[in-house]
Amino acid sequence: MELPAEFLKRMQDLLGSEYEAFLQAFQEPRKFGLRVNPLKISPEEFEKKVPFHLKRIPWTRNGYYYEKEDDPARHPFYYAGLYYLQEPSAMAPGELLSVTAGERVLDLCAAPGGKATALGARLGGRGILAANEISASRAKALLKNLEVFGIPNSLVLNEIPARLEERFPEFFDKILVDAPCSGEGMFRKDAANARAWSLEKVRSCAVIQKDITVRAARMLRPGGMLLYSTCTFSPEENEQVVSHVLRECPQLHLTPLPLYEGFSKGRPELAGGEEEIQNCVRLFPHRIGGEGHFLALFQKEGRLPDLLEERGSAKGRISAEEESLLDAFFRDVSWSVEKNRIEVRKGQVYLSPPTELPLGGMNFLRSGLYLGEIKKNRFEPSQSLAMALRKEEYSSVIDFEPEDPRTRRYLRGETVEISESPARSAGWQLVCVSGYPLGWGKLVNGTLKNKYHPGWRMKG
């Protein structure tokens, strides 16, 4: 791989005696990783069920290396949301920002969703995950990944950080700023990043990073924690951003991060000289089985209040007809749905988050769980509802094995013949693979009419 000459000189100055080992890493194949979804399956169960060549990633509880020939993106379990494909180093931010069920969590630069799905899964359906992406098209990809993972308590925003700062002062318990950066740490993974690199881009990114991280700090509650991360090596985007934030936000201090084997400390001499910058962490591809990353964990002075079970205010009445249609469907669902959290907008039915949110005038794609649509005097359940359910939570299920040809036919959107005898011989069925929901189908005379989301279908 041809790397920019100016970049190489900077890395030589940064790494000194380790420079040759760093260069050698670019001659080695990249590592592939996946992260198991604990909302659906434990790592131990996952290891037993999949045919992949797995090896644990040291700095994650539920991350694994796999071999390229495993091709996990083609396995039905991927479509069931049992795991997310993610570069191993990129798993560190979602792991090292400690999230507790019930907290208010913000992922400020969230697309495509690798870190957001990790944070959302750890909330366990309680509290709120606000996942923001400034690009509308990337926000749609983010929403899909959160829905595949079955995260019911998400708020997917499409806003600039300044607007969020105005609306959510000192609102969040935990914030992740995985900042847009020059991408130096991903050159081995994506040669296009190397071709697009320039020192001007490094400096431009640093300006943006300083601005959004200071804004994020203002959205943090006293006692809350903010994790800043990049996938770059440049001091301008790493230690120097951290130094700037410490100066601008004197109520923040750096908290030590764990030093797993191969992790190295931050470099105070590259910024303002503050000794606490050693509490940051650098990841280099010649030291670990992964690409380049940088992490800094800030904590705000003060004490987080005890977590409370929060409830949003009633969203307004739903009509008696709408309530009747919803009741008829949800008799077959074992969930206890709080009706004051149900909102119907132009026939679209949503289960609002349990946390009151000041969303008036904000650009957002989703608040809570999209349950389905009321049309022509019937309720049609959504793909996102199927992904948020467990097999045992719906009364009639059709369960395929991964090797069954009908599984892939279903995922391609085709009609499927059913020889099994589900609990109901007609009507809505929750379609699963090895007990894990994939989507809906409607059974009519032994034929399953496919209701799998058209935009999610398997190609080929």
Q: Is residue 413 domain-resident?
A: yes
**CA 309 → CA 102, 338, 354, distances in Å?**
7, 14, 8
Q: Is residue 408 domain-resident?
A: yes
Q: Is residue 292 domain-resident?
A: yes
Q: Is residue 97 domain-resident?
A: yes
Can you tell me whether residue 221 is helix, strand or coil? Answer: strand
Percent of the chain with pLDDT over 90: 92
Residue 160 has pLDDT above 70, yes or no: yes
**What is the total count of domains within the chain?**
3
Mean pLDDT of 407-424: 96
Residue 447 has pLDDT above 60, yes or no: yes
Mean pLDDT of 417-433: 96
Can you tell me whether residue 199 is helix, strand or coil? Answer: helix
Mean pLDDT of 103-123: 98
Is the distance from CB of 21 to CB of 198 less than 8 angstroms?
A: no
DSSP strand E in 210-251: where?
A: 220-230
Q: Determine the pLDDT at residue 303.
A: 84
Strands 128-132 and 63-66: unpaired
Q: Determine the pLDDT at residue 316.
A: 55
Which residues have a Cβ under 8 Å from the Cβ of 436 and sit 6 or more positions away?
40, 41, 77, 80, 81, 82, 391
Which residues have a Cβ under 8 Å from the Cβ of 406 and sit 6 or more positions away?
400, 416, 417
Asked if residue 202 and residue 181 are part of one domain, the reply reads: yes
Upstream peptide bond of 112 is cis (omega within 30 degrees of 0)? yes
Asked if residue 418 and residue 402 are part of one domain, the reply reads: yes
Asked if residue 284 and residue 416 are part of one domain, the reply reads: no
Q: CA dihedral in degrees (262, 268, 270, 271; nearest 10)?
A: 140
The CATH number for 422's domain is 2.30.130.60
**CA 401 → CA 76, 81, 405, 412, 437, distances in Å?**
9, 16, 9, 16, 12
Asked if residue 374 and residue 274 are part of one domain, the reply reads: no
Residue type, 282: R
Task: Give me the active site residues, please.
Answer: 231
Q: Determine the pLDDT at residue 342.
A: 93
The parent domain of residue 443 ranges over 391-460
Q: Is residue 164 domain-resident?
A: yes
Asked if residue 407 and residue 378 are part of one domain, the reply reads: no
Q: How confident is the model at residue 338 (pLDDT cuts 50, 70, 90)?
A: confident
Q: Which of 191, 190, 154 is closest to 384 using CA atoms?
A: 154
Q: Is residue 9 domain-resident?
A: no
Mean pLDDT of 154-181: 97
Q: Which of 91, 149, 147, 100 is closest to 128 using CA atoms?
A: 100
Q: How confident is the model at residue 314 (pLDDT cuts 50, 70, 90)?
A: very low
Residue 258 has pLDDT above 70, yes or no: yes
Q: Is residue 46 domain-resident?
A: no
Q: How confident is the model at residue 313 (pLDDT cuts 50, 70, 90)?
A: very low
Asked if residue 170 and residue 149 are part of one domain, the reply reads: yes
Asked if residue 187 and residue 134 are part of one domain, the reply reads: yes
Asked if residue 238 and residue 119 are part of one domain, the reply reads: yes
Q: How confident is the model at residue 256 (pLDDT cuts 50, 70, 90)?
A: very high
| Token representation of residue 150 | 């079955």
d(CA 8, CA 411): 46
**Beta-ladder partners of 174:** 105, 225
Rounded to two decimals, the pTM is 0.96
Q: Determine the pLDDT at residue 145.
A: 98
CA count, 13 A, side-chain hemisphere, 202: 17
Can you tell me whether residue 366 is helix, strand or coil? Answer: strand
Asked if residue 257 and residue 138 are part of one domain, the reply reads: yes
Asked if residue 289 and residue 185 are part of one domain, the reply reads: yes
Q: Is residue 71 domain-resident?
A: no
Asked if residue 336 and residue 294 are part of one domain, the reply reads: no
Asked if residue 117 and residue 148 are part of one domain, the reply reads: yes
d(CA 150, CA 83): 11
